[in-house]
Structure 1
Amino acid sequence: MDEIIAIRYYKIRALANRVIDRLYEETAKLGFADKDIELKKPIEANYRLERHPSSSEYTLVGEWQDEKGGKLGQLQFYADGSFDVEQDIVRPHPTRQGWFVDSIKAWGSDERIETEVRLYPDSEIRHRA
């Protein structure tokens, strides 16, 4: 990891770990057992800095990938302290028959972490395939 990126990562590390903890809380509310879901850790992402075209400020962007380089999720930590994090779940809903959990997302700031789960009916997933 580049030194500048490592410094930026160090600054958001505690928040990033709290975000993942919050995502685990949400998967538990859905009915997933701890062993059913293994979310990626922030340290496992590949990071880069992206410059915002209008503000010229840098965003720390991390991407999680599988062994073949397929995208599993993304973290974005903005210069103003806000963030967006999303990870793929890609599993049948554990308690709602006929539903599929696509991904889970968190956004907010150090003081407030909001979450949202993306669900699809099984019929829509089969239609996409």
Structure 2
Amino acid sequence: MAALPDPALGDIVCAALRRQVEKLGLSIGDEPVWAQATFVETVDPYSQEINLIGTWRGQARYGTVTIFPDRRIFAEYQVLLPHPAKEGSYVEAVQVWGLPEKLRGDAVLAEFSR
């Protein structure tokens, strides 16, 4: 298991994920919690660069964060709540990506099965 990355970076990533949820008018409370993620280093098969992968699991929701060597971030965290404005749909997850100082994001929507 790799060392936990900078807590300040964690605050940025977790806050960005929560903001994506809040933009939809929903809340996932104080999730995700950076200190609850476990991290491992992986080697990208194409670039051979070492990426740091964090995973949140064991709670009500699952999520991952990838920290690339050039400081780019990609994170996804489950929401699993009905969409407040789209009947028959729910917010499966939210994603954020980019450099820590300029993270962008979006929601992943799905339809309820019938």
Shift of 1:30: 0.6
2:57 maps to which residue? 65
2:5 maps to which residue? 9
After TM superposition, what 4+ stretches of structure 1 lie above 4 angstroms from structure 2? none
What per-residue deviation string (whole Å, max 9, x for no partner) do you get for residues 16-45 of structure 1?
Answer: 311211222221121114xxx132212111
The CA RMSD measured in Å over matched residues stands at 2.1
Structure 2 contact 49–69 (Cα < 8 Å) conserved: yes
Cα 1:57/1:22, change in 2 over 3 Å: same
1:87 maps to which residue? 77
Q: More relative contact order in 1 or in 2 (CA 8 Å, sep 6+)? A: 2
Structure 2 contact 95–107 (Cα < 8 Å) conserved: yes
> Separation in 2 of the partners of 1:80 and 1:43?
22
Aligned counterpart for 1:121 among listed residues 101, 111, 114: 111
Moved more, 20-29 or 76-85: 20-29
Identity of aligned residues (%): 25
1:42 aligns with 2:34: yes
> Structure 2 unaligned runs (5+)?
none
**Length, aligned pairs only:** 113
TM-score (norm 2): 0.85
What per-residue deviation string (whole Å, max 9, x for no partner) do you get for residues 90-112 of structure 1?
Answer: 11112332221100000001231
TM-score (norm 1): 0.76
Question: Of the two, which has the highest radius of gyration?
Answer: 1
Shift of 1:78: 0.5
Q: Per residue, is there more helix in 1 or in 2?
A: 1
> Structure 1 unaligned runs (5+)?
none
1:31 aligns with 2:25: yes
